[in-house]
Amino acid sequence: MYNTNVLQNMYSNKVFAAGIKFYELFKLAVKPSIYKDNNSKEYLPFIEKAVIKGYTVLDIGSHKRSYFFDLFKIAKLPGRMIAFETSPGIYSYLQRMKQLLNLDNIVIEQSFDRKASLDGGNDNNTSAKDKVASATIIDFKARINVPEKGRASLDTVDHYCSVNFIIPALIKFKVEGNDLAVLLGAKDTMQKYKPQILIECSEGKVSRQTLLEAFKLLSELHYSGYFILDTIKVRLANFDFNTYQNEVLGFYCNNFFFE
């Protein structure tokens, strides 16, 4: 009788724990699903193609909470994704989802957002809930003077790959504003390993000059460029800002692929 009760209690506890986990997952997933955008449909196939071969992909930039849907798809593949997040709140959220869903081949790192540090973290696209404190900080933008307290390290893509013995097959950069230092910080890695490059530029936030400088840098590294139209690669030579980034017409092409 005693043994039966023990087994029943153990079973009940497992059911209760599973119920709590399901509820937490449901609660965390509902809001992102409402605000999920379709931009990833353009670049995600390129990432999946690399990860399905067992390769390592780096994804550097700010994300939304709905990003975990993409991570969940990638986690089913044999390769590895290392995602770098600038928002402490999103970083914590993605870490929690990684734990709940057992996404073993997904690594979440927190990258340091220089702009956020200088203006106190004021970002119109980031809610107050997404500005909580966090520990690990990696700066892919510059080696600026930031107090040692509250940060683990300041770094570049080149140094991160070097100290962690990482050879990426593909690197995705999200470019915002006029700062190309994050791309320059990966120059040695691009020269040495020639990973494929994905550039996602934030709509309305990236100047033509910034993109042209990025295109020039990659051209000097002997990359062939394309812009992505609904997953179709079109040679960069055919790209025209007035046609493909025309906010007046409501059309903005923001994904570029280099190999």
Whichever domain contains 72, its CATH number is: 3.40.50
Half-sphere exposure of 35 (CA within 13 A, CB side): 11
User: Is 210 found in the same domain as 90?
Assistant: yes
User: Is 150 found in the same domain as 45?
Assistant: yes
Quick check: 133 pLDDT over 50?
no
User: Is 110 found in the same domain as 12?
Assistant: no
The mean pLDDT of the chain is 76
User: Is 19 found in the same domain as 138?
Assistant: no
Q: Which residues contact 204 (CB under 8 A, 6 or more apart)?
A: 247, 252
| pLDDT tier, 56 (very low <50, low <70, confident <90, very high otherwise) | very high
Q: E-strand spans in the chain?
A: 56-60, 80-85, 106-110, 170-175, 196-201, 225-229, 232-235, 245-246, 251-252, 255-258
In what helix (H) or strand (E) does residue 182 lie, and over which residues does it extend? helix 181-184
Q: What do you get for the CA distance between the two ends of the chain, in Å?
A: 68
Quick check: 20 pLDDT over 90?
no
User: Is 102 found in the same domain as 25?
Assistant: no
User: Is 81 found in the same domain as 127?
Assistant: yes
User: Is 145 found in the same domain as 17?
Assistant: no
Print the domain residue range for 24. 1-34
pLDDT in tens, 170-202: 999 988 776 788 899 999 999 999 999 999 987
pLDDT in tens, 199-251: 998 777 888 898 999 999 999 999 999 999 887 899 999 999 988 888 777 77
User: Is 59 found in the same domain as 48?
Assistant: yes
